[in-house]
Chain A
Amino acid sequence: MKIILNNRNETIDREQVTVNELLAIKNFTWKLLVIKVNGILVQHKDYDSKTITEGDDVSVFHLVTGG
């Protein structure tokens, strides 16, 4: 399927994935993340249930300390 990941076109070799599966495929292993799918915040408890399908617009923000 084709999705948009962080404002770039991305092809994932699956028909659908959960948020956690996408993080594993893309090797996003960071501890603190903010994830939006089609503009909607995905809460941490939903990372195993929320599915991403063809055409979805996914944003993954990585949070680190310092400011």
Chain B
Amino acid sequence: MLSIYYSINFQHQIELTYSERVRAYLNNCTVGIAGCGGLGSTCAVSLARAGVGKLIIADFDIVTKENLERQYYFLEQVGMLKVNALKDNIQRIDPSIMVKDINKQLFSSDIFELYSGCDVIVEAFDNAEMKLMIIETVMLQLPDIPLVSGIGLAGWGKTDLLRVHRSENLIVCGDEISEISETTPLIAPRVGIVSNMEANEVLELLMVNFEQ
């Protein structure tokens, strides 16, 4: 399906501007997002706004009132499955975006089947062991697909510690230090920054193959 931006211009036979060609290109890209909490929901919405045409989102949780402190959901969505609520929110921005919503707790054995068709995979889990699981699985089973991960984002302030740590197809956004604890909770600004660092890294990876 063509994005609304692309199809309007297509119908009018107008030559596409540079930014419209970028959107038309991104409309053909597929990004997998593993986890739809603070990182995944915000990253998915950012990629949707940027024009990425197909998103494969997975989570097993439901939206709670506490999630609203930092996750891209709304009060009336409390109690909904996160994947269903996030799909709704993305399609309220652009109904032409294809969203495959997988309501499932992911294990190593699921990753290949769900994400082997993606151009880039985003790790957006909460738990460190789950982060390790997907990083190792993608590196071993899908070594040609870049994985963008978000690690170390709890607390507030310390903006200058946030950075990108790259090693070929593994890209880690965050400070790799700030773990959630009693005194360093997860709060919207820092989680939002790292989510958007992930989305921005995804775009950089996708745009490598954009032909001007």
Residues A67 and B124 in contact, CB atoms below 8 Å apart: yes
User: Measured between alpha carbons, how far is A13 from B39 in the docked complex, in Å?
Assistant: 40
Known: A61-B170, A61-B176. A66 touches B132 (CB 8 A): no
CA distance A36 to B170 in the complex (A): 10
- Supposing A34-B132, A61-B172 touch, asked if A66 and B180 sit within 8 A by C-beta, the answer is yes
The answer to whether A66 touches B152, judged by C-beta atoms less than 8 angstroms apart, is yes
Q: Is B165 an interface residue (CB 8 A)?
A: yes
Q: How large is the interface on A (under 10, 10 to 19, 20 to 34, 35 or more residues)?
A: 10 to 19
> How far is A67 from B127 in the complex, measured between Cα atoms in Å?
7
Contacting pair A63 B177 (CB below 8 A): no
Q: A64, B167: Cβ atoms under 8 Å?
A: no
Bound: A59/B191 CA distance, A:
24
Instruction: Give the distance to chain B from A3, nearest Cβ to Cβ, in Å.
Output: 14
A56 to B87 Cα, complex, angstroms? 44
Q: Across the interface, do B179 and A67 meet the contact criterion of CB distance under 8 Å? A: no
Q: How far is the CB of A50 from chain B (nearest CB, A)?
A: 15
Main secondary structure of the interface of A (DSSP, over half): loop
- Contact segment of B17-25, B95-103, B105-113, B135-143: B135-143
A28 → chain B closest CB, angstroms: 11
Name which residue of chain A comes closest to B180, CB basis.
A66
B129→A32 contact, CB < 8 A = yes
Contact yes or no, A64 B37, CB < 8 A: no
B115 at the interface (CB under 8 A from A): no
Q: Quick one: which of A32, A61, A62, A66 contacts B186, CB cutoff 8 A? A: A66
Interface residues of A (CB under 8 A from B): 6-7, 31-32, 34, 36, 39, 41, 43, 59, 61-67
- A–B pairs, 16, beta carbons within 8 Å: A32-B131, A32-B132, A34-B136, A36-B168, A61-B165, A62-B151, A64-B152, A64-B177, A64-B179, A65-B127, A66-B154, A66-B179, A66-B186, A67-B38, A67-B39, A67-B126
